[in-house]
Amino acid sequence: MKYGYARVSSRIQIKGNSLEDQEAQLRQDGCEEIVCEQFTGTTMHRPKFDELMERIQPGDTIAVTKLDRFARNASDGSALIQQLLDKGVNVHVLNMGLIDDSPIGRVIVNVLLAFAQFERDLIVERTQAGKAIARTRDGFREGRPPIPEARKAAAVRMVLDQQMTYKEAAEAVGISMSTLTRAVRAEKAQRLAQIH
């Protein structure tokens, strides 16, 4: 059996890395079953991949488009590939070829994984540097943009005037239930304070 494994770390991936692109390449390579999931490369727990690892048998092949689809870092990738090879599973990395359990094969894998990790580390470093620069600018706010007060106030009125349920009001103005609950609580406390 030839399995394909496709992974993205976010819903939006650059051309060539999207789930659709990976799936197309794996199908073209002859994969009979393709397992897809969205998890960052830093996440240890990947349910679908773990399930595939349980099912895969000696003589089977697992294919990925690139080596970094497999692992968080060079040491994890090396250990995983060795685990598969020890189990008698063939590993096919489409942009490299079939990885065999020879000294040269292991060296190539380790070098490529180290470069993949280095590339990830550079991306993280550049992101952090960009944020550090942005923090020096006026008006910088990290995280999600704030919810306009008018939208929150409208939802609070709908709930307090008993025109809508919390769920309906939150959906109507496009805010979360927790945000609305906090806003209603704050409004009730404010009204109570004005009475006293």
Q: What is the pLDDT along the chain (196 residues), one digit of tens a residue?
A: 999 999 887 654 545 578 888 999 999 999 999 998 886 655 566 788 889 888 999 999 999 988 778 766 667 777 788 888 888 898 898 887 888 777 777 777 777 777 777 877 787 788 888 877 877 877 766 666 667 788 888 889 889 888 888 888 888 888 888 888 999 998 888 888 877 6
pLDDT at 10: 62
pLDDT at 144: 66
Nearest CA to 89 out of 41, 55, 116, 114 is that of 55
Q: Is 176 a catalytic residue?
A: no
In the set 9, 10, 78, 102, the catalytic residue is 9
Nearest CA to 3 out of 68, 48, 85, 63 is that of 63
pLDDT at 57: 92
pLDDT at 15: 52
pLDDT at 136: 82
Instruction: List, in sequence order, every beta strand (DSSP E) within the chain.
Output: 2-8, 33-38, 61-64, 90-93, 97-99
pLDDT at 110: 73
pTM above 0.75, yes or no: no
Beta strands 2-8 and 61-64: pairing type? parallel
pLDDT at 25: 92
